Amino acid sequence: MRLFSSHRAPNPRRVRWVMAEKGIEDVEIVQVDIMVGDHKSPEYRARVGVPHVPALELDDGTTISESVAIGRYLEALYPEPNLFGVDAREQAIIEMWTRRCEFYLANPIMLNVRLTHPALAAIEAHQQPQVADYNRVAAERFMRTLDRHLADHEWIAEDRFTIADIVGAVGLDFARLVKYRPPEELTHLNRWLDACRARPAAKAGV
């Protein structure tokens, strides 16, 4: 298998983190330079179908894109440690929190970075500060929800680290490019984020 990744891009980092948690070392990493548009080349688009990273090319030539879908596939091959749920209940709860973290936290905070960081103007041609601010405010609204939830929970979805934690932590880590930190008063959120960052696998893909 080959993973088409891009250094420092957040979504490929999710997959690299999953691989690191599971000790997966037999996947070839192919770097795609999105800053010069490698992901938009005819060859890449023909393989993946969309100009996005990451993408996982299987041995039979099948290509899977979207980070969570790739993570699910890898979990089927390497089931331990479990990150996506061991039964129907866990799978549904983890999926619920993963989607919440992606839609309400990771996506808006990543958009804030893409729409404000000068270097990212190369891939975000029409940066709009007002849209960036709107997305930051939306992300912080969910951060407050998550802070209340984490007051009684060590991790986001279950009593162990899961893909929901990876999605949330990677989104917030990406915001460090613009020197963003979650509000200090969100003590439970910041405790959780520190715990995520302290995991050895957190270094994967950065």
- Among 43, 24, 51, smallest CA distance to 205 is for 24
| C-alpha–C-alpha distance, residues 205 and 199, integer Å | 13
For 150-202, the pLDDT digits (tens) are 999 999 999 999 999 999 999 999 898 888 999 999 999 999 999 999 999 99
Q: Let me know: does 34 contact 179? Beta carbons within 8 Å.
A: no
**pTM listed for this prediction:** 0.93
2-77 has CATH 3.40.47.10 classification: no
Q: What is the pLDDT of residues 64-119, one digit of tens each?
A: 999 999 999 999 999 999 999 999 999 999 999 999 999 999 999 988 887 876 65
Domain boundaries, the chain: 2-77, 88-203
Question: Which CATH number applies to 88-203?
Answer: 1.20.1050.10
